[in-house]
Structure 1
Amino acid sequence: MSDQREIKIGLIGAGQIGMQHLERYATIAGVRIEAVCDISPEAADSAAKQYAIPRVCTDYRDLLADSDIEAVDVCLHNNYHEPVTVAALQAGKHVYCEKPIAGSYTDGAKMTHAAEASGRMLHIQLAQLYSKETKAAKQLIEGGKLGKLYHARSTGFRRRNRPFVDGYGTPAFTRKEIAGGGALLDMGVYHISRMLYLMGNPQPLRISGQLYQEMAMDEARRAASGFDVEEFAAGFVKFEGGMTLDIAESWSIHLGGFEGSSIVGNEGGIRFPGSTGAGEASPFTYHSTIADLDFDGRVDLDLAELRRKRLSPCPDAYDSSQHHWIAALRGEVPLLPTAALALNTMLISEGLYLSHALGREVTADEVRALSPSRSLPI
């Protein structure tokens, strides 16, 4: 039964992503941002003024000491996720953390273990789980229309849109010390986690990958950014049970677009919209054989979403990652396994990095054993 009590949240990190979170919270009834924390007093004060937040602090520990706050939203760079999230969980707060789960598998595992030990919820921002396309794909899979799943493809495309060096974002996105990685951890987390979700989050066994930073960039901005992460990543994963996944993730590549991610079974397949540099997209499609005829179909996604919302007792619970988070805090719906999905996504991503470094396929156990902590003190 729905709990309509007010949900009081503390925001840690008032940068670009933090402001996007505040904008989303403003659309959800019954949510109160009780405090905002940022190491920049000016950023915290600006956010507090814009969204009428009563408390401001520059040390996240002060925010965690507030007993009125039941949940925190961590909007920091990747390598700061683990120390702040673990401290918040140990302080008895539920935690919503930006993607990726952390800067390494080891740090992400510490977060999930802390959530289990504390009995608190850990939710990771995996926005594509709430898209109309993902919901339709899940419905087709659960309805048996793909049959036995055996392969998926995860793609993400930008033609030339590397953070900072191509004019978007800050240098923090391009430095392994702060971000942990490049295109894989910035964009790939969305696409890989969606395919894992649709596949039932199988456990990776073996991972192979190659990373690239080949395209020219302005040398002054290269030097200013300290750019030492991948702009393109390619990979292949074998899972327990025999399923496989191939990966192509691009911040920058000399192509006009990628076909969309896809997932196939022995009775049908799904292709997600692809992307081009012109902002165009191919449609969401379903493919099968009917009466011995090859069948390619489109789904009325808007009508499916309308019907889903009309029939749901909690119609807004899957509108966005934050809508879902609030619905779970209220006990309206069970929390999707975003932490487990994000942790396996990090295992795969780090497997690609390790495979590239060693020049060979690696096992998931090797990745777990060799994963370093990249956490930074804050």
Structure 2
Amino acid sequence: MVGIALLGAGIFAREEHLPAIEATPSLTLKAVYSRSQRSAEALAAACKDPSSVAVYYDEPATLGKSLSDLLARADVAAVDVVLPILRQPDVVRAALQAGKHVLSEKPVAGDVAAARALIGWYEAWEGPGQQGGAGKPLWGVAENWRFMESLRYAARRVGEIGGQVVSFRLVQHGFMREDNKYFNTEWRKTPAHQGGFLLDAGVHFVAGLRFLLAAAGQSIRQLAGFTALLNKPLVPVDTVHAAAVTQDGKPGTITMSFGTEFKSAMEIEIVTTKGAVVWSPTEVKTTVGKGDGSGDTVEEKKEFPRNFGVAAEVAAFAQAVEAGELDRLQSPSEAFIDLEILQALLESGAGGGVVKTIGA
């Protein structure tokens, strides 16, 4: 059994990560942490067995109850970090230096520069008191969309259909109301990070698009977009429309908006020379050419229960800790590309549609 601590008591930590940890047989929740005693105790109270979970917090300052005290515990081998975006990197580094395996929520950092610095430090670091990297703790970045059953099925269908990509699209429309529980999280309501909700949620959408493009052997190479603020409380911007091309020059479009009140959509489509796959969280539609020159097609639809994939990603992390090898879908480098594309969309929009190159 792997002793783990949950760091963070926000909505996603409480509603998704806590039950995912408790549902993973190889994990034992030893402790929880939040900035305030009140929120930490509320998280502990939501546990299946509150009496078995120790509580740590920063405010009020209490001897033996700080994050440093938690990270010093020998029975905590791993931590699941679900904190505000800009706080994550420092806590990730502190946990690794304390010898703990780390699963940290997306995005990998608030911007590309901070992400590159953290990843570069980790790759060069030899580990706490180790030589040559022996025994260095694992660090994975949690992008639950890569573990969604419906998205994985869609990726399999893209691979099975085959052919060369001719087009792709990502379309997300929604409206973030002021009574939404996520909007009323203080660090989201008054964001200090770039892009507001476009960064916080947008990396999910980018990850989904990248996952399906990768199934067809493609990745995004260049993009150019325009941004806007349609829903005034969602500063600094809430909408981006962009054109993008793959490394082979195949064109596609990216649309993400949290300010479109009368349109709701979440779809990713990959079109190849042999068919097309349209993914949404609860449905995958496949169109395949018969291959007889007639132009006729066979259509298929498969439905899925709504599931965020968090339980699967936590289980994958637990397995990685036991095996000593990280699942590549949780690698910081994968999360870095998600962030790089999202930041490029924001920067292109701020520059009036300037073309941005990924990986330049």
So what's the TM-score if we normalise by structure 1? Answer: 0.77
Distance 1:128 1:156, change over 3 A: same
Aligned with 1:287: secondary structure? strand
Distance 1:204 1:35, change over 3 A: same
Deviation at residue 71 of structure 1 after TM alignment: 1.3
Would you say 1:297 and 2:299 are equivalent positions? yes
2:112–2:343: 8 Å Cα contact kept in structure 1? yes
Match of 1:19 in 2: 14
Normalized per residue, which structure has more strand? 2
Deviation at residue 25 of structure 1 after TM alignment: 1.4
2:6–2:33: 8 Å Cα contact kept in structure 1? yes
Match of 2:226 in 1: 210
Aligned with 1:137: secondary structure? helix
Counterpart-to-counterpart distance in 2, 1:176 and 1:323 = 31
1:99–1:124: 8 Å Cα contact kept in structure 2? yes
Would you say 1:95 and 2:102 are equivalent positions? yes
2:11–2:182: 8 Å Cα contact kept in structure 1? no
Amino acid at match of 2:289: T
Cα deviation code 1:247-282 (max 9, x no counterpart): 1112121433336211122222110138xxxxxx7x
Identity %: 21
Match of 2:285 in 1: 285
Would you say 1:172 and 2:191 are equivalent positions? no
Pick the aligned partner of 2:352 from 352, 359, 368: 359
2:167–2:270: 8 Å Cα contact kept in structure 1? yes
Count how many residue pairs are aligned between Structure 1 and Structure 2: 330
Distance 1:246 1:86, change over 3 A: farther
Deviation at residue 147 of structure 1 after TM alignment: 1.8
Would you say 1:35 and 2:31 are equivalent positions? yes
Counterpart-to-counterpart distance in 2, 1:152 and 1:121 = 34
Counterpart-to-counterpart distance in 1, 2:285 and 2:138 = 35
Pick the aligned partner of 1:196 from 210, 216, 237: 210
Pick the aligned partner of 2:3 from 5, 8, 17: 8
Aligned with 2:280: secondary structure? coil
Unaligned residue ranges in structure 2 (runs of 5+): 58-65, 128-135
Distance 1:57 1:354, change over 3 A: same
Counterpart-to-counterpart distance in 2, 1:241 and 1:122 = 32
Counterpart-to-counterpart distance in 2, 1:138 and 1:17 = 26
1:206–1:361: 8 Å Cα contact kept in structure 2? no
Match of 2:46 in 1: 50
> What is the alpha-carbon root mean square deviation over aligned residues?
3.0
Deviation at residue 332 of structure 1 after TM alignment: 9.4
Deviation at residue 347 of structure 1 after TM alignment: 0.6
Deviation at residue 140 of structure 1 after TM alignment: 2.1
Amino acid at match of 2:212: L
Distance 1:167 1:285, change over 3 A: closer
Would you say 1:181 and 2:176 are equivalent positions? no
Cα deviation code 1:321-378 (max 9, x no counterpart): 212222222229851333323211111111122112222424347x97xxxxxxxxxx
So what's the TM-score if we normalise by structure 2? Answer: 0.81
